[in-house]
Structure 1
Amino acid sequence: MSRIVYSIFKRTLDIFGAIMGIVLLSPVLLVVSILIKLESKGKVLFSQKRVGLNGKEFKIYKFRSMVENAEDLKKNLEDKNEMSGPMFKIKSDPRITRVGSFIRKTSIDELPQLINVLKGDMSLVGPRPSLPKEVESFEPWMLKRLEVKPGLTCYWQVSGRNSIGFHEWMELDIKYANEMSILVDIKLIFKTFLVLFGDKNAY
């Protein structure tokens, strides 16, 4: 299949999938928005600069899962980072709210990125978008992942996520960049649903 045909299919799938997702999940989006607002002060949506296709920066959207001043508090937690490489993540992050903990475990916090998919910043399938400062720390071979539009799900997302080291994560993204096709995209979307419903064998 030619790259042009694949690109048309991928964009069509993105638009259809994003619209269907927003419509079908609108009750969930509404309830989560209310719960976030009731638990802590601050905006319902959290936006942040990420690096997309060909290194172009864009604003990503998420449901806010942390307290309002989370970025300021991060400075005091740098020594507790449990991720290798330039990524930052700790299991018992004190900045995460109760609602935030639930929506992170279920990946509900990522649903506003359907807006990014509609806008064309992201795709349903593709490497997770990195922060600009993370990209600055990439080794040259890792930059190939920027040749692909970032996505909601990818090999890393269905392969254990935080249990995977940084280098293996990057290798999985390069694997997708080299193998991306209609079949691979459909397979990853299917596996994502299995993982969301607790099927660990999908890993």
Structure 2
Amino acid sequence: GVPLEQVQFDSLRSRVVMVPQDGFLFDSTVADNVRFGAPHLSDDDLVDAFASLGLADWLDQLPDGVRTEVGERGESLSVGERQLVAIARAYVADPDLLVLDEATSAVDPATEVRLQRALDSLTRGRTTLAIAHRLSTAEAADEVLVVDAGVVVQRGPHRELVAVDGVYQRLHASWMSQSR
């Protein structure tokens, strides 16, 4: 590693990508919005990226594939579909550190399955910080930090945290009872 004081800001910015809760899309095509993360990629490269994320079927459903216009702020796509584009953008940027800030929170159940599959591909072999209220996101993490009132109150893998009395176990029990 390199000491943080020696890292150039531009270098750091190019190595960290954030996928926010509501990914911003430009009034252009799916391709242009994804290409924002890697301007040198061709349309064929982008199609391959969607396939690598397990999203080829979704892309095929769009009227013009990667050339589909998304409208201002992505208005022609659902919230979940906008997230798929944001995840593809992060994927092609190939960051060292990926920050997912509530990336699945506003997604319908059908899109969540697609989104989770894409996130699995995106996060594989990559340092990822996932900020989430959905416990389904936490279940897949190597380590979970439970924050209550701004303080880390528990830390560990999901399987250990559900086995001990605490905030996480109570949240998990509540989540499980609601999902039945």
Larger Rg: 2
Structures share fold, TM-score greater than 0.5: no
Higher helix residue share:
1
Bigger strand share: 2
TM-score (norm 2): 0.29
Task: Name the TM-score, length of structure 1 as normaliser.
Answer: 0.26
